[in-house]
Amino acid sequence: MSDLKTKSMVSAALFVCLTAVGAWIRIPFPLVPMTLQVLFVLLSGMCLGPKLGAMSQAAYVLMGLMGLPVFAGASGPHILFSPTFGYLVGFIVASYTAGKFSNKRASFIGFLGSSLAGLLAIYACGTVGLYLNLNFIVGKSVSLVGAVKIGVLPFLLVDGLKAAAATIVAYRVVPQLSRIRVGTGVKKESLKP
């Protein structure tokens, strides 16, 4: 295994761990707890790139589905039928989205746009998952607007702050990561997933 692949795997594993730790720092809310996971999900895409970032989040979700205690609530395959499963799927999509957008724009505004696009991906997947769960599994009739009121609106301010924090960290860290990668003799273009 090449040195670059080893560093990539270690970096992805680091974001799996950070996302798990972010899940344990939580404020209980009805149906969907508030955690620090969003911060690390967005950073995984912006720091690792779209493919490796999404892979780190897919590994995180897979670990939780296997029963490892990495989610904010219970872990295990039964999470597939939980109101929060759409948000977990959203983590994978968000990391990819944030990474894809940040690859093209290395400015502060570019990272902010990447963070907001990733946050939107989490909300889109989470709202659809919440809507489907409540209507077809729980048996509670809820409109899509109702699902947004439950699963998005209470979190907008705090998630906006997490997106801002991810933007600031990425703006400072990603250029340093690029310099380190270029310093290893690997062309910057070859690092794009």
Residue span of the structural domain in which 127 resides = 3-191
Question: Could you tell me the CA-to-CA distances from 191 to 34, 58, 64, 185 in Å, in that order?
Answer: 34, 20, 29, 11
84 in Cβ contact with 40 (< 8 Å): no
Question: Could you tell me the CA-to-CA distances from 80 to 18, 36, 83, 99, 125 in Å, in that order?
Answer: 22, 21, 9, 26, 13
Burial of 46 (0-12, 13-18, 19+ CB in 10 A): buried
Question: pTM of the full predicted structure?
Answer: 0.89
pLDDT tens digits for 112-126? 999 999 999 999 999
Q: Could you give the number of structural domains in the chain? A: 1
Q: What pLDDT sits at residue 188?
A: 44
pLDDT tens digits for 29-62? 666 667 899 999 999 999 999 999 999 999 999 9
Residue 12 in tokens: 């992805």
For the chain, what percent of residues have pLDDT higher than 90?
75
CATH of the domain at 13: 1.10.1760.20
pLDDT tens digits for 64-96? 999 999 998 889 999 999 999 999 999 999 999
